Structure 1
């Protein structure tokens, strides 16, 4: 039973990243600059800690307008959110 719980936990942990990468299949020539994403997020009241590239998406570590630490993935062409996790 314990092995099943561990396996399900691992599958759930990696599901968000797999989902994000599926939605971020964009040619590099079509990517918007990171600074554009940062400006967008700051305009929404978020404090940007860092933005990096992960699995074809932009991965941003931010503090949202509610003060929560968030790890969020964005499509680099549209800058739309494709996955988000609130950190503990």
Structure 2
């Protein structure tokens, strides 16, 4: 699986489909904070939802590639992401 590196915050990390976050709900940052962060890095966010205790994001980049990622809801750091290319492999 190819990992996506967009901006300094999207480097490395697990690429497992079975990623779960275990952050108490009281510690979650708002979805809007994650959206602002990703848009500043060039993402066009189309959806953010809770999934397995993480934020799951669907977006596109400047080249029009579809992006999908899971983010820690407290730190807003990626725990898993993939691109449209990954689906075609």
- TM-score greater than 0.5 by the shorter chain: yes
Instruction: Bin the TM-score by the shorter chain.
Output: 0.7 to 0.9
**Which of the pair has more CA radius of gyration?**
1
Length, aligned pairs only? 71
Structure 2 Cα separation of the partners of residues 59 and 25 of structure 1: 14
Q: TM-score by structure 1 length?
A: 0.74
The structure whose RCO (Cα within 8 Å, separation 6+) is larger is 2
Q: TM-score by structure 2 length?
A: 0.73
Structure 1 Cα separation of the partners of residues 22 and 62 of structure 2: 29
Structure 2 Cα separation of the partners of residues 65 and 77 of structure 1: 26
The structure carrying a bigger helix percent of its residues is 1
The unaligned stretches of length 5 or more in structure 1 are 1-14
Let me know the Cα RMSD of the aligned residues: 1.5
Structure 2 Cα separation of the partners of residues 39 and 31 of structure 1: 15
1:46 to 43, 48, 52: 43
